[in-house]
């Protein structure tokens, strides 16, 4: 029941235990989350040393395969692998054979031929990491697949919240904005449920998906009671032309933009980046003392180190007994 | 209107099976004699072993044979062989090929091929609008004269109400039915998965049920206004079923069909992210599935249609959103419904056999396969005791995008007679 388990539909007869992947928050147990956050914490203390590099993953190969633009996620995965002494290979869709029409399966098979230990993949389509996990022998880490999942973002946000509040259970987070197009929101919702964080989703009616199992409202006043306001980016690149989710960005900002006036003193603000300043978040909020945005970026590095370590070793670094990591 | 290659007519005796033709009122253990492709005697027999059932062979009103244009995915030969293996004696092919079947020349070429290659009887629908673009009517008169069974823009809705009205008016002179794919494109645009909890959690753009039911309602209203019959294809939503039931109660000559996958699966299956559960219309909620089942039971929906849609392996071996819509079904339809609906007691066997054969034949004005002396032999011998795993034996279809790959099913066709000829015989069967 514990451990990062995936490829559920593996129909092959019993053989070696399934590879450890991180494809979706749904596959994590509470114990997995605790183990990963604990590992990240121990890596954080190692980064305070003068020599920041650890020999842990020396000789292993981490491939970063990015089909969508990314600054934070790709740089932190690369740095995380380097801090752990792994070799890294970074491939972006533009300038690669993807431009020539190569399918994801063929690209995965090609990279798989180098025997990478981990493939970190970001892709605009739901389920792309599952496909890579199926056709290669590498451990696969989902760095964002379409509107589906972004599990390392959810983990780094849990890490950030625990650093800030010293606890997770019982916190109340309001997630505000374009929930419909947000993989971050989907991963957060599952992660928050797992650790006992109360969540309210706030946004324009057409940007709140129907039948999502959560408390939803279009009334921005609902952020009042939250400990943290988690602001989502308006994802214009994922919106179909002419879909009219909102009449205009101006109208969106007027109704749902997070301004100092809408916040209580001391209410914390998070944002997964990149921010559209002046649209979903007022610059005064983004740069204000209650913003946790740069903490999130720092958390991203240690959490991704922990994820790489965890999928490869299946165990914690000195914070918990190894048994906790065993597959039930 | 149906075409089949010339083949020797069969002469054989099928002994010891339970013979069940619900429409003819036959249900007894009989020895059935077929001479030169015609049933010549039905005589009392003794049961050979449990599970052997002889029934009228099946009729599928909705198949994609991919010819012309994608013969790598299916041909008339492979598609009709797959159908024969599934127990079918007749199928109707949709016109959304490349090129679209929208001219007498294209249709004529298909009929020629069918006369050479078709293992069982095959009929062709022609498009309602040229290129299925929804802008200009096809020459329905000439197409009907050439041999079109009915008209459909399947794969696409006839988006314009005005265009559909003209089609209803003009089709009346051909005495051919319009078969409609119902979808309001401004509501389904970009949608891959039923709009509900599963799409919300996985992040898929939703394809709401109202996108179908709104178009069903509109089309039925137009048919009622014009006083013309109408057939609605592959229904998926409870609201669509309710609309069809209301129209029929009001006296409209409206009919509907449902696929095995919409009767067995719900959108929960999409959690696997397997492109072999991606089809249009999408799998919907459990309440929709139950409404479809109820409509099939009470006769509101008269036909099971596979919507057999073969796709090349490399086109389905991609992330879900990138994959084309459609799954195969000819070789698994009976077994899937027998296993998942009849055996658990959700649907009487007699009803299933009727909806797989007499129902679709009646809708499209085809000769009904029947078990009676003097009738051409359109028969399927089913083994209801046989357990098999889908995909273990190679498919006769050129494609293997089945939603049942790896599943164990109960019941299989062991012998199919189509138009009096032996169209399929499972190895090792001695009839």
CA A73 – CA A299 distance, rounded (Å): 11
Q: What is the 3-state secondary structure (H, E, C) of chain B?
A: CCECCCCCECCEEEEEEEEEECCCCEEEEEEEEEECCEEEEEEECCCCCCCEEEEECEEEEEECCCCCCCCCCCCHHHHHHHHHHCCEEEEEECCCCCCCCCCHHHHHHHHHHHHHHCCCEEEEEECCEHHHCCCCECCHHHHHHHCCCEEECCCCCCCCHHHHHHHHHHHHHHCCCEEECCCCHHHHCCCCEECCHHHHHHCCCEECHHHHHHHHHHHHHHHHHHCCCEEECCCCCHHHHHHHHHHHHCCCCEEEEECHHHHHCCHHHHHHCCHHHCCCCCCCCHHHHHHHHHHHHHCCCCEECCCECCCCHHHHCCCHHHCCCCCECCCCHHHHHHHHHHCCCCCCHHHHHHHHCHHHHHHCCCCCCCCCCCCECCEEEEEEEEEEECCCCCCCCCCCCECCCCCEEEEEEEEEEECCEEEEECCCCCC
Tens digit of each residue's pLDDT (9 = 90 or more) over B305-327: 999 999 999 999 999 999 999 99
Per-residue model confidence (pLDDT) at position A151: 97
Confidence of residue B430 (pLDDT cuts 50, 70, 90): low
- pLDDT average, residue stretch B389-403: 97
Residue of chain A with shortest Cα separation from B196: A211
Minimum mean pLDDT among A228-232, A312-316, B311-315: which range?
Answer: A312-316
- Contact at CB, B204 and A212, closer than 8 angstroms: no
B320 touches chain A (CB under 8 A): yes
CB nearest to A130's CB, from B195, B273, B321: B273
Q: Per-residue pLDDT for A288 more than 70?
A: yes
B403 touches chain A (CB under 8 A): no
Q: Per-residue pLDDT for A322 more than 50?
A: no
Tens digit of each residue's pLDDT (9 = 90 or more) over A110-166: 999 999 999 999 999 999 999 999 999 999 999 999 999 999 999 999 999 999 999
How many other CB atoms are found less than 10 A from the CB of residue A269? 22
Tens digit of each residue's pLDDT (9 = 90 or more) over B366-377: 999 999 999 999
Chain B residues with beta carbon closer than 8 angstroms to that of A149: 203
CB nearest to B200's CB, from A11, A127, A210: A210
As a CATH number, domain B57-368 is 3.20.20.140
Q: Per-residue pLDDT for A7 more than 60?
A: no
Chain B residues with beta carbon closer than 8 angstroms to that of A210: 195-196, 200, 206
Tens digit of each residue's pLDDT (9 = 90 or more) over B265-296: 999 999 999 999 999 999 999 999 999 999 99
Confidence of residue A18 (pLDDT cuts 50, 70, 90): low
How many other CB atoms are found less than 10 A from the CB of residue B227? 11
Tens digit of each residue's pLDDT (9 = 90 or more) over B96-139: 999 999 999 999 999 999 999 999 999 999 999 999 999 999 99
Confidence of residue B302 (pLDDT cuts 50, 70, 90): very high
B307 noted as active-site residue: yes
Confidence of residue A17 (pLDDT cuts 50, 70, 90): low
CA B91 – CA B65 distance, rounded (Å): 10
Chain A residues with beta carbon closer than 8 angstroms to that of B318: 103-105, 131
- pLDDT average, residue stretch A214-227: 95
pLDDT greater at residue B20 or residue A20 = B20
- pLDDT average, residue stretch A276-293: 96
- pLDDT average, residue stretch A211-221: 93
Per-residue model confidence (pLDDT) at position A237: 76
Per-residue model confidence (pLDDT) at position B233: 98
- pLDDT average, residue stretch B255-267: 98
Q: Per-residue pLDDT for A9 more than 50?
A: no
Q: Per-residue pLDDT for A169 more than 60?
A: yes
Of B60, B102, B154, B307, the catalytic one is: B307
CA B97 – CA B132 distance, rounded (Å): 10
A211 touches chain B (CB under 8 A): yes
Q: Per-residue pLDDT for A328 more than 50?
A: no
Q: Per-residue pLDDT for B76 more than 60?
A: yes
Q: Per-residue pLDDT for A319 more than 80?
A: no
Mean pLDDT for chain B?
97
Per-residue model confidence (pLDDT) at position A48: 84
Tell which A residues from 121 to 150 touch B, by Cβ distance under 8 Å: 123, 125-128, 130-131, 145-149
Per-residue model confidence (pLDDT) at position B53: 97
pTM of the model: 0.92
User: Could you give the 3-state DSSP secondary structure of residue A65?
Assistant: strand
Query: What ipTM describes this predicted complex?
Result: 0.86
- Contact at CB, B317 and A209, closer than 8 angstroms: no
- pLDDT average, residue stretch B146-161: 97
Which of B186, B191, B211, B319 best tests the A interface by mutation, with the highest count of A CBs <10 A? B319
Chain B residues with beta carbon closer than 8 angstroms to that of A126: 202-204, 273, 319-321
Tens digit of each residue's pLDDT (9 = 90 or more) over B189-212: 999 999 999 999 999 999 999 999
Q: Domains in chain A, ordered, with CATH?
A: 25-149+298-325 (3.40.50.1370), 151-296 (3.40.50.1370)
Tell which A residues from 67 to 106 touch B, by Cβ distance under 8 Å: 103-105
Per-residue model confidence (pLDDT) at position B428: 64
Give the CA-trace dihedral at B294, B296, B301, B305, to 10 degrees. 140
How many percent of chain B have pLDDT more than 70? Answer: 99
Chain A residues with beta carbon closer than 8 angstroms to that of B191: none
């Amino acid at each position: 029941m514990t451990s990062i388990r995936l490829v559920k539909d593996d129909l092959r007869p019993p053989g070696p235990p399934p590879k450890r992947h991180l494809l979706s928050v749904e596959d994590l147990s509470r114990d997995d989350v605790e183990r990963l956050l604990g590992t990240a914490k121990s890596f954080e203390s190692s980064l305070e040393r003068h020599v920041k590099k650890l020999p842990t993953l020396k000789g292993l190969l981490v491939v970063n395969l990015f089909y969508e633009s990314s600054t934070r996620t790709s740089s932190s995965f690369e740095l995380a692998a380097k801090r752990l002494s792994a070799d890294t290979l970074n491939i972006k869709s533009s300038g690669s054979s993807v431009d020539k029409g190569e399918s994801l399966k063929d690209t995965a098979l090609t990279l798989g031929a180098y025997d990478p230990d981990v493939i970190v993949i970001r892709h605009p389509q739901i389920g792309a990491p599952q496909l890579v996990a199926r056709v290669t022998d590498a451990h696969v880490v989902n760095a964002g697949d379409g509107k589906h999942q972004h599990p390392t973002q959810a983990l780094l946000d849990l890490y950030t919240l625990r650093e800030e509040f010293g606890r997770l259970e019982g916190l109340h987070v309001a997630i505000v904005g374009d929930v419909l197009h947000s993989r971050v929101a989907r991963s957060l919702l599952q992660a928050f449920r797992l650790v006992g964080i109360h969540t309210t989703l706030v946004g324009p009616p057409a940007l709140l998906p129907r039948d999502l199992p959560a408390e939803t409202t279009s009334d921005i006043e609902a952020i009042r009671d939250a400990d943290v306001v988690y602001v989502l980016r308006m994802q214009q690149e994922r919106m179909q032309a002419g879909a009219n989710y909102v009449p205009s960005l101006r109208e969106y900002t007027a109704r749902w933009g997070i301004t100092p006036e809408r916040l209580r003193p001391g209410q914390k603000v998070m944002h997964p980046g990149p921010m559209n300043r002046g649209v979903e978040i007022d610059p005064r909020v983004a740069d204000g003392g209650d913003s946790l945005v740069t903490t999130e970026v720092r958390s991203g590095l240690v959490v991704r180190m922990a994820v790489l370590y965890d999928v490869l070793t299946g165990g914690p670094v000195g914070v918990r007994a190894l048994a906790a990591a065993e597959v039930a | 209107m149906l075409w089949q290659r010339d083949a020797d007519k069969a002469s054989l005796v099928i002994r010891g099976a339970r013979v069940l033709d619900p429409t003819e009122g036959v249900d007894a253990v009989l020895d059935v004699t077929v001479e030169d492709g015609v049933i010549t005697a039905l005589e009392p027999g003794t049961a050979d072993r449990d599970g052997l059932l002889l029934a009228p062979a099946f009729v599928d009103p909705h198949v994609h044979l991919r010819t012309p244009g994608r013969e790598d995915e299916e041909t008339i030969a492979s598609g009709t062989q797959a159908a024969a293996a599934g127990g079918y004696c007749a199928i109707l092919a949709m016109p959304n090929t490349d090129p679209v079947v929208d001219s007498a020349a294209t249709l004529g070429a298909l009929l020629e091929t069918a006369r050479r290659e078709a293992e069982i009887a095959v009929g062709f629908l022609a498009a309602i609008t040229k290129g299925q673009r929804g802008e200009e009517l096809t020459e329905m008169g000439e197409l009907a004269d050439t041999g079109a069974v009915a008209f459909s823009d399947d794969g696409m809705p006839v988006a314009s109400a005005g265009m559909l009205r003209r089609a209803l008016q003009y089709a009346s002179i051909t005495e051919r039915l319009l078969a409609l794919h119902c979808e309001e494109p401004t509501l389904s645009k970009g949608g891959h998965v039923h709009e509900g909890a599963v799409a919300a959690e996985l992040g898929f753009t939703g394809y709401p049920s109202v996108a179908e039911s709104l178009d069903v309602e509109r089309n039925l209203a137009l048919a009622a206004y014009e006083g013309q019959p109408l057939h609605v294809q592959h229904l998926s939503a409870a609201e669509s079923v309710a609309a069809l039931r209301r129209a029929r109660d009001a006296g409209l000559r409206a009919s509907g069909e449902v696929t095995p996958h919409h009767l067995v699966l719900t959108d929960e299956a999409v959690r696997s992210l397997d492109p072999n559960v991606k089809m249009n219309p999408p799998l919907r909620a459990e309440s929709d599935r139950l409404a479809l089942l109820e409509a099939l039971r009470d006769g509101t929906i008269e036909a099971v249609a596979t919507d057999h849609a073969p796709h090349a392996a490399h086109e389905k071996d991609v992330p879900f959103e990138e994959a084309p819509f459609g799954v195969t079904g000819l070789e698994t339809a009976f077994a899937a419904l027998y296993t998942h609906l009849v055996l658990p007691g959700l649907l009487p066997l007699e009803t299933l056999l009727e909806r797989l054969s007499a129902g679709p034949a009646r809708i499209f004005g085809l000769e009904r396969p029947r078990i009676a002396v003097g009738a051409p032999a359109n028969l399927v011998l089913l083994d209801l005791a046989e357990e098999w795993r889908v995909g273990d034996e190679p498919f006769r279809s050129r494609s293997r995008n089945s939603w049942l790959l790896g599943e164990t099913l109960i019941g299989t066709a062991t012998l199919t007679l189509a138009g009096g000829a032996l169209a399929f015989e499972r190895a090792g069967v001695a009839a």
